[in-house]
């Protein structure tokens, strides 16, 4: 076990400012949720019928006009987010948050670079150790390649033993000791900023049944200093500035916030202490803290695409009600760009 300071870019050179792309490789909560053939057939039937009735001549343009719930759906891979400096070619230009099943596909992408030649370096920040945030790790190709270096970071002191437990018979055929890459563990200090390349990373506590830490990641783009706030998994039981204390800094003026919206407001009330929240809670927080853009994730594994689309409609109605209320009281409602994220969704912070 080493400290986070070991991993700092020690070259002392000034890094070029780059745009940063945040990509959501897995936005489903709790359990990978593949689409059933029945659900795909139903969606195809509706799309084909709609296409025929629309009189449109180009299928691609027609499909583009449909909401995500009517085409590909929100996706079924669990928690994994990539934060990447666009066009960067340094090992420290990419951070990964959590190892849900979405990590398998991200690993495939990474293998097309230095990791495929055994010359890569990977940084993985972990929020907590629930299965849906770890299940992709045994299928992360770079960790099996000799010459690669895989760095894990977490606040929790049992980081190394929990990762090693993922590679143990009879649960997985390859033992941790047999991994061919060099694996390093870095224990983080709560609310202490540390550097990975051009990223300044600070862990803040979330509200979840087992200790869970979100991350604020700040960086310089050609236009400005930007911040990505990762706040999944969290029930967000602490909302007021007083209750949040130091952890309010996770959200403050963030350019992009990923927020836990496993439930609707009513479902959240029925699932108190389950550790997950609802989109309107995130919007209230975002409006108060000056967040510019918010994406909602950790969709319930039991929720169909239609059900998630309905939660999105409820959220829109909530936003409209807030807007009307502000207007009646001669207040200006701040603009916030929001939507429910789907697997593969990405946002460029320029």
Distance in Å, CB of 134 to Zn ion, minimum? 10
Contact status: 276 vs Zn ion (CB under 5 A): no
Name the minimum Å distance from CB 263 to Zn ion.
Answer: 13
In the complex, minimum distance from the CB of residue 135 to Zn ion, in angstroms, rounded to a whole number: 10
Helices 305-328 and 279-289, packing angle to 10 deg: 40
Does 130 contact Zn ion by CB under 5 A?
Answer: yes
Question: What beta strand segments (E) does the chain contain?
Answer: 2-3, 20-26, 80-85, 94-97, 121-125, 149-154, 182-187, 194-196, 199-205, 213-220, 225-231, 256-260, 293-297, 337-340, 346-349
For Zn ion, give the closer residue by CB, 73 or 214: 214
Nearer to Zn ion, 114 or 136 (CB): 136
Q: CA angle 215-275-321, nearest 5°? A: 85
Cα dist. 220→16, 200, 223, 280 in Å? 9, 10, 8, 30
- Shortest CB 323 distance to Zn ion, Å: 31
- Which residues within the stretch 203-242 sit at the binding site for Zn ion (CB under 5 A)? 233
Q: Which is nearer to Zn ion, 132 or 255 (CB)?
A: 132
Residue the block writes with tokens 């929001």: 338
> Nearer to Zn ion by C-beta: 219 or 259?
259
* Helix and strand numbers, DSSP H then E, in the chain: 8, 15
Please identify, using beta-carbon distances, which residue of 154 and 196 lies nearer to Zn ion: 154
Q: How far is the CB of 281 from Zn ion (least distance, A)?
A: 17
Query: Is 261 within 8 Å of 299 (Cβ atoms)?
Result: yes
**Judged by CB under 5 A, which stretch of 128-136, 284-292, 323-331, 335-343 contacts Zn ion?**
128-136
Q: Least distance in Å: CB of 129 to Zn ion?
A: 8
- For position 300 contacting Zn ion by CB under 5 A, the verdict is no
Q: How many residues bind Zn ion (CB under 5 A)?
A: 4
Question: CB 237 → Zn ion: shortest distance, Å?
Answer: 14
Under DSSP, the state recorded for 118 is: T
Min dist CB 275 to Zn ion, Å, is 6
Question: Rounded to 5, what percent of the chain is helix, strand, coil?
Answer: 35, 25, 40
Strands (E), 232-276: 256-260
- Contact map string, positions 28 to 57, toward Zn ion, x by CB under 5 A: -x----------------------------
Is 295 among the residues that bind Zn ion (CB under 5 A)? Answer: no
Give 92 or 98: the residue with its C-beta nearer to Zn ion. Answer: 98
Q: What are phi and psi of 218, to 5 degrees?
A: -110, 150
Q: Please say which residue, 132 or 305, places its beta carbon nearer to Zn ion.
A: 132
Given the complex with Zn ion, which of 79 and 196 has the nearer CB atom? 79
- 78: closest CA among 341, 307, 266, 282? 341
Query: Is 233 or 345 the residue whose CB approaches Zn ion more closely?
Result: 233
The stretches of 124-189 forming alpha helices (DSSP H) are 159-165
Residue nearest to Zn ion (CB): 130
Cα separation, 175 vs 188, whole angstroms = 26
132 makes contact with Zn ion (CB under 5 A): yes
Task: Tell me which residue of 205, 129, 133, 132 sits closest to 161, measured CA to CA.
Answer: 129
Closest CA to 228 of 241, 246, 214, 239: 214
Q: How far is CA 160 from the centre of its chain?
A: 22
Q: How far is the CB of 303 from Zn ion (least distance, A)?
A: 14
Q: Using CB under 5 A, which of the segments 129-137, 170-178, 249-257, 262-270 binds Zn ion?
A: 129-137
Contacts to Zn ion by CB under 5 A:
29, 130, 132, 233
């Amino acid at each position: 076990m080493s400290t986070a300071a070991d991993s700092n870019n020690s070259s002392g050179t000034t890094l070029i400012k780059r745009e940063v792309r945040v990509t959501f490789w897995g936005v489903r909560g709790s359990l990978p949720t593949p689409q059933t053939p029945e659900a795909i057939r139903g969606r195809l039937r509706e799309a084909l019928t709609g296409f025929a009735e629309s009189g449109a001549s180009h299928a691609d343009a027609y499909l583009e006009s449909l909401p995500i719930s009517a085409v590909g759906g929100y996706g079924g891979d669990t928690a994994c987010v990539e934060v990447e400096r666009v066009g960067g070619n340094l090992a420290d230009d990419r951070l990964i948050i959590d190892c849900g099943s979405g990590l398998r596909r991200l690993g495939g992408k990474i293998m097309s670079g230095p990791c495929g030649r055994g010359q890569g370096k990977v940084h993985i920040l972990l929020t907590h150790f629930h299965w849906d945030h770890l299940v992709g790790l045994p299928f992360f190709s770079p960790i099996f390649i000799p010459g690669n270096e895989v760095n894990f970071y977490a606040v929790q002191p049992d980081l190394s033993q929990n990762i090693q437990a993922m590679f143990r018979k009879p649960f997985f055929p390859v033992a941790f000791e047999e991994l061919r890459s060099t694996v390093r563990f870095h224990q983080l200090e709560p609310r202490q900023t540390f550097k990975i390349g051009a990223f300044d990373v600070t862990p803040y506590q979330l509200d979840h049944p087992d200790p869970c830490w979100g991350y604020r990641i700040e960086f310089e783009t050609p236009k400005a200093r930007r911040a990505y706030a990762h706040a999944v998994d969290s029930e967000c039981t602490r909302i007021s500035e007083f209750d949040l204390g130091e952890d309010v800094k996770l959200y403050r003026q963030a350019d992009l916030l990923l927020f836990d919206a496993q439930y609707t407001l009513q479902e959240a009330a029925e699932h108190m202490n389950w550790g997950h929240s609802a989109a309107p809670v995130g919007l209230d927080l975002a409006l108060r803290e000056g967040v510019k853009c918010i994406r909602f994730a950790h969709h319930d594994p039991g929720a169909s695409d239609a059900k998630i689309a309905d939660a999105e409609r409820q959220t829109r109605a909530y936003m409209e009600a807030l807007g009307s209320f502000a207007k009646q009281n001669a207040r200006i409602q701040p603009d916030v760009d929001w939507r429910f994220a789907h697997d593969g969704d990405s946002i460029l912070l320029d």
